Chains A and B, each alone.
Chain A
Amino acid sequence: MSTRLSRRRFIKSVIASGVAASATSGWYSAAQANRPAGTTERLISLNINGRTRRVDVLPQETLASTLRYKLGMTGTKIGCNRGECGACTVLIDDVTHYSCSMLTHSVRGRSVTTVEGLQAADGTLHPIQQAFIDELAPQCGYCTPGQIMAAVALLKDNPKPTRDEVRVGLSGNLCRCGAYDHYLSAVLRASGQST
């Protein structure tokens, strides 16, 4: 088992067992202690990947934090955590948003799609995910979920983009490995065009 996999499994099991608040997650426990006597209802319903999720959310919590640390949906990455790198990109009502720069409370009543929500019920990957694999697009892979979400929104809007249009469409997503060209090819492949 690789260290990456075991780490991910560890995070998920911690969240599932419900002890995250008290011991393991420094972020969560610190946030709990600082909670002001608020007026906002904290237990809210979110629509994520077509499912209603009930979750206890602090006023200052961002959607990226809620997804990762409350719901265990670690596909959404936190890179810069300030709306610059795009690793946290999710779709809200079908358009791309930086989930690190959205308060979770502000997405109540809206429909959120994360990278976990793209594959079909039987596990078949979304055509864009498959194209990213076929083009060997990711290098380290950290920015990949964000790149995929940006590509999904782009192709929904513009099913046959030019390479330059893809470049502009994905310009909110940084890749420190510099695998941009592979990503552009993958999006063109997903749109049924030659790369």
Chain B
Amino acid sequence: MVAITLSPIAENWSERPNDGFPLSHYPMFSAKRTDSVRITYLVGADSSSKRYLLSHRYVGPGGLNQVRRQIARIARRGDPESLCRSVAGKIVMRDARSLREVSVVRVVTGSYRLTEYLAGTLAPIAEQEHASCKVERRRP
């Protein structure tokens, strides 16, 4: 059992390390970070182009990091349009007061600078759009 638990240590010398469960070589926090970070996420906008960062809870269950990875995967290989529509539908259904003005949802990958973020700026230096859709509310 001890040998099995320690066996993933070999992944540290592998060209393509593989993580597993419950046996892992615990690669978290070991990556080398540059000042530039790319994150894929969802952003809303209202008619005056004001931005609204959308919570991972509008995408699916499993917690922030799991959903973050899922969004990135969908944007890369999946169907970002249907993710976009699904989130737009949830915005209408949940009808949160803070998002009532949101009229457009976008799936984007934003590039950020860590130094700027640590200085208090939460704005991307560039944003690449994967999909965009309208939030269609039925008016009474």
Q: Do A and B come from one complex?
A: no
